[in-house]
Amino acid sequence: MTKVKLILSITAAAVILVSCSGTPSSPVAALPAQPQKVVDVSPVAATPTQNGTDVSPSVAPQTQPPVKQADPTPKKKTLTPPLSDALSRVTKKTFGLYVSPGNSPVSPEKFKGYHTGIDFETFANEQDIDISVSAVCDGPLILKKWATGYGGVAVQQCNIEGQDVTVVYGHLRSSSILPKIHDQIKAGESFAALGKGFSTETDGERKHLHLGIHKGVSINILGYVQNQSLLDQWLDPKSYF
| Choices 27-35, 84-92, 111-119, 232-240 (CB under 5 A): range interacting with Zn ion | 111-119
**Binding track, positions 70-99, relative to Zn ion; x by CB under 5 A:** ------------------------------
Quick one: which of 25, 220, 241 has its CA closest to 136? 241
Is the separation of the CB atoms in 144 and 181 below 8 Å?
Answer: yes
Q: Residue from 210, 213, 225, 237 that binds Zn ion (CB under 5 A)?
A: 210
Please identify, using beta-carbon distances, which residue of 138 and 241 lies nearer to Zn ion: 241
Restricted to residues 12-71, the positions that interact with Zn ion (CB under 5 A) are none
- Smallest separation, CB 142 to Zn ion (Å): 20
CB neighbours of residue 113 within 10 Å: 17
| Choices 13-21, 52-60, 136-144, 203-211 (CB under 5 A): range interacting with Zn ion | 203-211
Is the separation of the CB atoms in 241 and 83 below 8 Å?
Answer: no
Please identify, using beta-carbon distances, which residue of 13 and 219 lies nearer to Zn ion: 219
Is residue 173 involved in binding Zn ion (CB under 5 A)?
no
Is residue 171 involved in binding Zn ion (CB under 5 A)?
no
Is residue 203 involved in binding Zn ion (CB under 5 A)?
no
Is residue 201 involved in binding Zn ion (CB under 5 A)?
no
Please identify, using beta-carbon distances, which residue of 62 and 148 lies nearer to Zn ion: 148
- Smallest separation, CB 145 to Zn ion (Å): 17
Is residue 121 involved in binding Zn ion (CB under 5 A)?
no
CB neighbours of residue 87 within 10 Å: 12
Q: Residue from 86, 95, 99, 119 that binds Zn ion (CB under 5 A)?
A: 119
Q: Which residue, judged by CB position, is nearest to Zn ion in the bound state?
A: 210
- Smallest separation, CB 208 to Zn ion (Å): 7
Please identify, using beta-carbon distances, which residue of 119 and 203 lies nearer to Zn ion: 119
Q: What does the binding site for Zn ion look like in residue numbers (CB under 5 A)?
A: 119, 210
